[in-house]
Amino acid sequence: MKRYIFRFVPAYLLLTSAVQLKAQEGASSTINITTTAVPFLRVSPDARSGGMGDAGIALSPDANSVFYNQAKIPFAKNKTAIGATYTPWLKEIADNMYLATLAGFHQLDELQAVSASLRYFNAGDIPIMDYNGNKLQTASPREVAFDLGYSRKLSEKTGMGAAVRYISSKLATGNINGTSYKAGHTVAADVSFFYNGVDDNGKGWTAGVSLSNLGGKIGYTENADNKDFLPANLSVGGSYTEAWDEDNKVTFALQADKLLVPKVPESPEDMPAYRSKSSVSGWFNSFDNDAMQFGFGAEYAFKEQLYLRLGYNSKSYSYGNWQYVTAGAGIRFNMATINFSYLVPTGDKVSRNPLSNTVRFGVLFELDK
């Protein structure tokens, strides 16, 4: 029996699960990249962090903190905030793929806060073909994640947060060569910690740790043994802000991410054992690969009204083996801040990063400051 898959663009194949939509079990595999289901959860959804090399876990809190570190929210200067971001995705090779997000939080009192967020990924219209190039049908992949979170201060300088996430992923539906495909659904959770050492002048250190996407596997058929891992992730980072005077500040941020997913075996004989692993087993078996990324960024702020940002991100071979430079800017009007980031093209026509020219647009509203 022939094996049928989505003929996604190559870059998206590196982000999606290498074992989705297979109609032949035990087929050979030459995939060396650590892959997962719902890879849109690995995309940085924030224009501010996007301009700083995706190093957002320890930055000062705003509405988009719900995507990185829930524990930051009780330390926000404003009681309520709302944020939205739009990211045309993989513009180098796709015209109608995008990620849209909406997030917000509300501080219940000086110690605790609640939050919610929504992520929607549209992969456009994609033909499903066999390996001979014959078109089977057209799919319209859509993926959604909805979060509810709670965070609380543990002391004047530390806090913890948690979130529960509902995930829906529709890659294809209907019968393809005798196999019935459906939308996949599952739940996951995040747990995070934050240290805030910034003084009243805005100078000092912050640090954050987060475990995200800890949940069950997700499947697209009725076969319970044919499910894929979520992109469980461990993030650790810190930042330092230097206040030169009341008008000028600069922040440096650093973040490391480890994908807590086992490596897809190259031998088909090893696939049954890989498939049988539970999510928890997968987390502890994830250290057999180097699926990591490192982000570094800097932000200059003038009167907390104008922001200029620069960053760098490097992914290991098992994470995709991409390196890129980012740039961004932000401008604040009263309670609203507009952010923009840009992923600078790197490499030549052959080795150019498929994420080149990625643009993120975001707006933040700070209420009840």
Q: How confident is the model at residue 28 (pLDDT cuts 50, 70, 90)?
A: very low
Q: Thinking of the domain 39-367, which architecture would CATH place it in?
A: Beta Barrel (2.40)
Q: What is the pLDDT, as a whole number, of residue 161?
A: 97
Cα separation, 237 vs 167, in Å, equals: 26
Q: What is the pLDDT, as a whole number, of residue 9?
A: 38
Nearest C-alpha neighbor of 105 from the set 75, 132, 135, 129? 75
For the residues 124-152, what does the mean pLDDT come to? 80
Cα separation, 64 vs 56, in Å, equals: 9
CB 264 within 8 A of CB 18: yes
Q: Which residue has tokens 């790197």? A: 346
| Lowest-confidence segment of 57-61, 71-75, 95-99, 186-190 by average pLDDT | 95-99
Q: How confident is the model at residue 94 (pLDDT cuts 50, 70, 90)?
A: low
Q: How confident is the model at residue 16 (pLDDT cuts 50, 70, 90)?
A: very low
Global pTM?
0.86
| Lowest-confidence segment of 16-25, 92-101, 292-301 by average pLDDT | 16-25
pLDDT digits (tens, 9 = 90+) for 221-276: 887 778 889 999 999 999 999 999 889 999 999 999 999 998 888 787 888 888 88
Domain map (residue ranges) of the chain:
39-367
Cα separation, 78 vs 20, in Å, equals: 43
Contacts of residue 260, defined as CB under 8 A and 6 or more positions apart, other chains included, come to 211, 232, 233, 234, 282, 283, 286
pLDDT digits (tens, 9 = 90+) for 299-353: 999 999 999 999 999 988 777 778 889 999 999 998 999 999 999 877 655 555 6
Contacts of 171-174 with C-beta under 8 Å, sequence gap 24+, read: 171/6, 171/20, 171/21, 171/139, 171/141, 171/220, 172/6, 172/21, 172/128, 172/137, 172/139, 172/141, 172/220, 174/137
Q: What is the pLDDT, as a whole number, of residue 133?
A: 67
* pLDDT at position 355 over 70: yes
* pLDDT at position 3 over 50: no
| Mean pLDDT estimate for the chain | 84
Q: How confident is the model at residue 18 (pLDDT cuts 50, 70, 90)?
A: very low
The better pLDDT of the pair 234, 286 is held by 234
For the residues 143-156, what does the mean pLDDT come to? 97
CB 253 within 8 A of CB 298: yes
